[in-house]
Structure 1
Amino acid sequence: MGRKAKHVLLTGGLVSGLGKGSVLAGIGRSLQDRGIVVNVIKIDPYLNEDAGGMSPAEHGEVFVLEGGEEVDQDFGVYERELELILSGKNNITTGKMWKRIREKERRGDYGGRTVQYFPDFVNEIEEWLSSVSQTTMTRKGIQPADVCLIELGGGLSSYEIDIYLEAFGRLRSKYGKENFLHIHLDVLVDVLGQFKTLPIQDSINRLKRKQLTPDLLLYRHKNEINSGAKVKLSETCMVENLFDIPFLENKEQLCGFLSKSGVVECISEQLKLELKSEKGLVAEWKRLHRLAPEPGKVVRIGIVAKYNINHDAYLSLTKAICDCARSLRYSVEITIIDAEQLEEGLEAAIAKLLIADGILVAGGFGVRGVNGKIMACKHAREKRIPYLGICLGMQVVVIEAARNLLGLYDATSTEFDPETANKIILKTENSKENQGGGSMCLGAKKSEILLEDSLAKKIYKNSFVIERHRHRYEMNVEYAEALKEKGVVVTMVDEKTRMPSFVEVRGHPFMVGTQSHPEFTSSIFTPSPIYCEFLKAALENKKCKTSMGLNTTNE
């Protein structure tokens, strides 16, 4: 029997939002830099089977994996920063666990005995970890994993997290300290300039009651910490290895800090890992993040969106823009424009739209705000402002053109009006009535570029393109010919279904819509070509406005 991957568990304090994903990604990157092959598992204790049905306004972005699984936004962090290809198996939810246990019980796998939290739920967790943790997937293929990093989502004050703490307490005892290491991440509370350690003490005590005394305690803070707080933490928490991890401005600083903090060496010592000389992965990551913008290359991008309560709702999208801007040596200013406020004609929203060098209409579900997105699209087409439509943003291009170029003023999606005479956007064939995320077109899909002289070909420089998708509606091909006569052309189709996956407006400097989500595979190492070309077009638009003396407004 071959070697088994060792486990590193990361828990958080009483509240969520401490940056566990970023910290674990930084640790993972630092381990990779020392020759350690890592895998990642994220545990979400909620009863939902996956993140697909969750509102971005409440939960943040729903990230889509290559296989089509809908997961928490932290998976985007892990795939981007660790260059991994993860699957739904890398995500444990309580909903999935209960489904597995229920199916086993119905099949009679438990032999008619009573099914209980202990041992059955604990056994299910161990079985899942054992089957997933041993190998990891990258663009280069499958490799045996040395270490599996496990993030336990949520805060310790959540009732639903207790069963996992109990399970990991037992697994730690079973695996032993050389195979299982526990890191706890918490925050030092600053009250009127004094650091309070009681919240951390409380969370440590909760863990100890589950036989989970941390091997490492990472404490976060914004202000400079005094030595008295450190001593008090050491004495009261009785954790041998304490590390000071301040809140830093960006992930590049955090990864660099973690690589020099001694955390990796401490992990290696306990787990008996063979660290190699630094491969330069962290240094390269830092170099790419530090690329300085060239003089004069500053662009304003207006994102017309509807989930504006939660800034994480468009996390991958904004990250893709920033990473692509760095690769081009641009400086980018991103402004979120509320689609509903555009509908209502609010001056503040309109002003943001007018000064944008490029307009991006983001995806979304439901009719709320869609007319504001259509207004933004019309403005971009008429004023020749670079436009990128993502998912619903592509459908908006088609709807706006049908209304204002074909004169079909009732043209819309059946998602918004099932009874409209001009159903320009229809439900996909694989969608089922009254079902949620599982009925959508999800995951990596291959599309064929139809025209050599298209923007699609210029952007991707290939005949076939693979991007990730997340949609339930698509363009009605019956209108394709009429739209083509008005210059709105389908230039890419799904290889299997032959349904439109990319449209562009001929005669416009840059007006394209893609049914896919290219931001899900974009990173600082492999910036998305469509986002890069969009930014280039935005800069050209800015230069044109500046030469005409229109540097503050597009009118």
Structure 2
Amino acid sequence: METKYIFITGGVISSLGKGVVSASLGMLLKYRGYRVSILKLDPYLNIDPGTLNPYEHGECFVTKDGSETDMDLGHYERFLNQETTKENNITSGLIYKTVIDNERKGIYLGKTVQVIPHITDEIKRRIRILGDSKNYDLIITEIGGTVGDIEILPYIESVRQLKWELGEFNGLIIHLTLLPYNNATGEIKTKPTQHSVRNLMENGVQVDIIVCRTKNNISDKIRNKLSLFCNIKTNHVIESIDTKIIYDIPYLLHLQKFDQIVLKYLRLKNFNFLKKKNCHHLIEWTSFLKKYKNPKFKIKIALVGKYILLHDSYKSIIESLIHAGTKNNINIKIKWIYSDLINKENIESTFNHVSGILIAPGFGKRGIEGKILAAKYAREKKIPFLGICLGMQISAVEFARNVLGIKEADTCESNPNTNHPIINLMEKQKNIFYKGGTMRLGNWRCILLKGSKLFSIYGKKEILERHRHRYEFNNNYFNHFSKAGMKPVGLNPETGLVEALELKNHIFFIGVQYHPEYKSTIINPHPLFISFVLTSKNKKYKSL
């Protein structure tokens, strides 16, 4: 069948949840038997989000092929239970760079390069790459930002052109918008949505379905009003009410026949869930929600980081803890700890009553000493510990200082002039000056040491995990660590790079250079998080 396209735009304000709605729709359509992929278009001029501060844009998600992408790709992978690649995220920076490079090469044959047609043509070409591969029946394209932003105009024009080129019943436009509640009058206001839809119409784009983000249920009166003023069918006004967990959203949308409406509009068969091969995934999803809402245990995990004011900075870690906790019938409460505020005086009160400590990834010098204190506390108090990327490096520095007696031990990232660089800049990174897209990224092999806890967690010798880092464990200290009980238990077979450290005679003390959170989904929770959470639960209940 010919690939069909669904475009999702946003209005009124940002951060309404286009990514979750896109992922939810993708999941519903996949479980009806269609081959689905989701594409994110970001209007900012960065080539990718790799150099963005997490406070600017949330987590940077890394795909298996080493692309630094928008955090929404994490939602796509977790909901669809399938991996994404560099083709699933496009930015204006990438579009403009491609067009300018083409102009320098003379590809446009002397033509004046303009937004229309050159920029819009490149946007359309990128959108159609996944569809042209013939691997998918449906491509959902989420457009970042909000209607009215000057940066988004080339994308809106591209959608207008593309829907016309695709032909009737091959393109669908969904608009996600906010329905604010006026406390003074006690009513939901539709005017912002009307203006948002009208803005699209002024640019030649007619919305086919409106998804309304709201805190209150919308009435038939509201639906009829939006139908009248926005030129859509009444049943094409879909409610997306606030929920405690995003994994409820697909079911709530399905109850309103969202997926059926989409299929009907695109003239596609409305396959029954239960007759398709993906049925078991839907059953697992339902089972997950039931277990999540009815936990048997509750524990508190300390998440130590430097970007905790915006929890989306650690979105994949949060979701991985939820996946692993639910798998073990455990409700996990995260205690957010800003590493820069940790000191010797408050260390006991900071980590008292937590069942496990997780030191999150990060970059730069700020907050390093607080993280070192946290690792020391977990090691000495026998609290289950998981260090991810920088978290592993921190645990190594702490061990060198306080067990090996190397008081000046440090990481070159925070102290380039240290005499004992336990964590050093990777050799291949030493002549790199550009920051964007130059780290060690994507899937890399790791061979696990037989007999180690990490080997028993994975149940196999070789694993493949995603990376995002410039610095590495200094192998000059390899034997010192091994003899003292901090064993390198994971190595890259090509480079000898230490991928994982594990402390002997501790209930659970593991640091990994890679990012296990990128691969965790509801259907396949990551085994490392499962083991960490389960050990934290058992540790807590043994101490009661």
TM-score (norm 2): 0.95
| CA–CA distance in structure 1, aligned partners of residues 84 and 492 of structure 2 | 23
3-state SS of paired residue (2:244): coil
Q: Which residue matches 1:197?
A: 190
Partner residue in 2 for 1:222: 215
Q: CA deviation at 1:177?
A: 3.1
The amino acid of 1:257's aligned partner reads L
Q: Are 2:8 and 2:176, in contact at CA under 8 Å, matched by a contact in 1?
A: yes
Q: Which amino acid aligns with 2:163?
A: R
Counterparts in 2 of 1:435 and 1:350: CA distance versus 1, 3 Å: farther
1:321 Cα offset (Å):
0.7
Aligned to 2:302: 302
Q: Number of matched residues?
A: 534
Specify which of 246, 258, 276 is matched with residue 251 of structure 1.
246
Deviation of the 1:344 alpha carbon: 7.8
Deviation at residue 293 of structure 1 after TM alignment? 7.8
Is the 1:15–1:157 contact (alpha carbons within 8 Å) kept by the matching residues of 2? no
Q: Could you tell which deviates more after superposition, 402-411 or 350-359?
A: 350-359
Cα distance, 1:131 vs structure 2? 2.0
User: Residue 294 of structure 1: CA displacement?
Assistant: 8.0
Q: One-letter code of the match for 1:210?
A: N
Structure 1 contact 256–286 (Cα < 8 Å) conserved: no
Alignment of 1:514-529 (within 5 A): 514-529=512-527
More deviation in 33-42 or 471-480? 33-42
**TM-superposition CA deviations, 1:255-283 (whole Å, max 9, x none):** 11112212222211221112212133434
Q: Is the CA contact 2:344–2:373 (under 8 Å) kept in the aligned structure 1?
A: no
Alignment partners' CA distance in 2, 1:46 and 1:542: 46
1:358-404 alpha-carbon deviations (Å, 9 max, x no partner): 11111100010011000010001111111110001111111001101
Residues 239 and 253 in structure 2, CA contact (< 8 A), matched pair in contact too: no
C-alpha distance in 1, partners of 2:255/2:417? 62
Q: How does 1:15-414 map to 2 (within 5 A)?
A: 15-135=13-133, 144-192=135-183, 193-240=186-233, 241-279=236-274, 280=279, 281-291=281-291, 297-343=297-343, 345=345, 347=346, 350-414=348-412
Question: Compared with structure 1, are the counterparts of its residues 480 and 265 closer, same or farther at alpha carbon in structure 2 (3 Å cutoff)?
Answer: same
Alpha-carbon distance in 1 for matches of 2:115, 2:383: 58
2:8 corresponds to which of 10, 21, 26: 10
Residue 4 of structure 1: CA displacement?
2.7
> In 2, distance between residues paired with 1:14 and 1:234?
18
Contact 2:217 2:239 in 1 (8 A): no
- Cα distance in 2 for residues equivalent to 1:85 and 1:154: 24
Partner Cα separation in structure 2 for residue 469 and residue 364 of structure 1? 13
The corresponding residue for 2:441 is: 442
Q: Distance in 2 between matches of 1:271 and 1:344?
A: 62
Query: How far apart in 2 are the matches of 1:95 and 1:525?
Result: 34
For residues 413 and 445 of structure 2, what CA distance do their matches in structure 1 show? 25
Q: Which runs of 5+ in 2 are unaligned?
A: none
Q: Distance in 2 between matches of 1:99 and 1:296?
A: 53
In 2: Cα distance, 1:325 partner to 1:500 partner: 28
Distance 1:211 1:296 in 2: 53
Offset of residue 481 of structure 1: 1.0
Structure 1 unaligned segments of length 5 or more: list them.
136-142, 547-555
Q: Shift in Å at residue 517 of structure 1?
A: 0.4
2:503 counterpart of 1:505: yes
Instruction: For residues 281-318 of structure 1, give each alpha carbon's deviation from its aligned partner in whole angstroms, at most 9, with x where no partner exists.
Output: 43431222222588763221101111012110000001
Give the whole-Å Cα distance in 1 for the aligned partners of 2:264 and 2:179: 27
CA deviation string 1:443-500 (max 9, x = no partner): 01111113x2211211111111111111110110111111222111111111211110
3-state DSSP of counterpart to 2:326: helix
- Residue type matched to 1:213 in 2? Q
Aligned twin of 1:138: none
Partner of 1:552: none
Give the superposed CA RMSD: 1.6
Structure 2 Cα separation of the partners of residues 277 and 286 of structure 1: 16
Give the TM-score, by structure 1 length.
0.93
**Amino acid of the residue matched to residue 149 of structure 1?**
I
User: Is the CA contact 1:428–1:473 (under 8 Å) kept in the aligned structure 2?
Assistant: yes
Residues 247, 134 of structure 1: alpha-carbon distance in 2 compared, 3 angstrom cutoff: farther
Deviation string, structure 1 residues 62-110 (Cα, Å, up to 9, x no partner): 0000001000110000011112221111111100001111111111110
